[in-house]
Homo-oligomer: A and B are copies of this chain.
Amino acid sequence: MNGTISAADIGRGPLYKRVKSLLTQSLADGEWKPNEAIPSESRLAERFDVSIGTVRKAIDELTAERILVRQQGRGTFVAAHTQSRFLYHFYHVVDEDGIKRFPTPELLQFRRIRAEQNVATRLGLDKGARVIHARNLLRIEGYPVEVNDIYVDAEVFEGLDRDTFSNRPGTIYQLYQERFGLNIIRTSEQLRAVAVDESEANLLDIEVNAPVLQVDRIAFTYHSKPVEYRRSLVNTSRHVYQSDQEATG
C-alpha cells in the first residue's frame, strides 16, 4: 500500500473501462471543468497504476464520445459548448441550401411553476416539482423561425434569474455549463409534424393550422442524467431539420 488509487482494485471488467469510469466520475464531480486540461496521460497512468496504453484507450473512447478533446502538444481538455461545437452538434436547423446560421433568441417568458406529469416524467422528477419554464422566439436574419418552451429543475438551477438567462453571451448550454457546471453531452429528440396553434402562429408570423415541425428534446449530462426538456416548434417553409447518420469512411 502506497496511497495511490489503483484502478485494478475497484470494479470488474476490462481495466481501461474502469479507468474510463473513474475519469467520468471525476468529470461529473467537477474535478476538471469544461475547457480545463485533465492531467497528462503519464500522470493518469501513475495515478491509476496502469500503463499509458490503457489510459489512452480510456481517453480514446471519451474523445470518440466528444466528452474530452485532445490537442497534440498541449493536452487533453474537457469538451465545452463553444458556439461552433453547439452549432455543429445539437442545433439542426439549416437553410434550404444546407448552410447553418445562428439564430437570435428573444426571451418571451421566464417563470417558476409546478411541473405537470409530462414535464416531470421527462426530467425524472415527481409531478408538482418546482421547475423553471422559459419561452423563447428564435429569429434567423430577422425572420421568426422557431418558438421553444424550455423546462429545467428549479432546484438544480437555484438562483437562475430572468436577466442571467436573457443576457447571456453564448448559447443556453454554455450557460448551463459555466454557471452550473452542467455539461450537456447527449440529446434525444422526437419529431412530429403538427398544425400550429393560434398563439404560436402569431409568433412565427404564419397562418393558423399551418404545418410546423414539433421537436421534443431531452438533454442529458454525464451518466444519462436528464437536465432539460424542451419543446420547439419550427417553421420549415424556409428552413429544414438536418439529420445525418453514421460517420463517413
Contact = CB atoms under 8 A, between A and B. Distances in A.
Interface string A195-222: 1000000000000001111101000101
B186 A236 contact: no
Count of identical protomers in the assembly? 2
Contact of A89 (B66, B245, B249): B245
A247 interface: yes
A172 interface: no
B244 A187 contact: yes
Nearest to A67: B249
Nearest to A90: B245
A188 B244 contact: yes
Interface in A78-101: 89-90, 92, 94, 98
A236 B24 contact: no
The secondary structure that dominates the A interface is strand
Given A193-B193, A213-B192, A186 B240 contact: no
A216 B186 CA distance: 24
A65 B211 CA distance: 35
Interface in A53-86: 62, 64-67
A190 interface: yes
Interface residues of A, number: 44
B249 A62 contact: yes
Given A64-B64, A249-B62, A213 B189 contact: no
Nearest to A20: B249
A185 interface: yes
Contacts of A194: 193, 211, 236
Contacts of A242: 188-191
Interface in A221-242: 222-224, 234, 236, 240-242
5 contacts: A65-B247, A92-B243, A190-B241, A211-B212, A224-B249
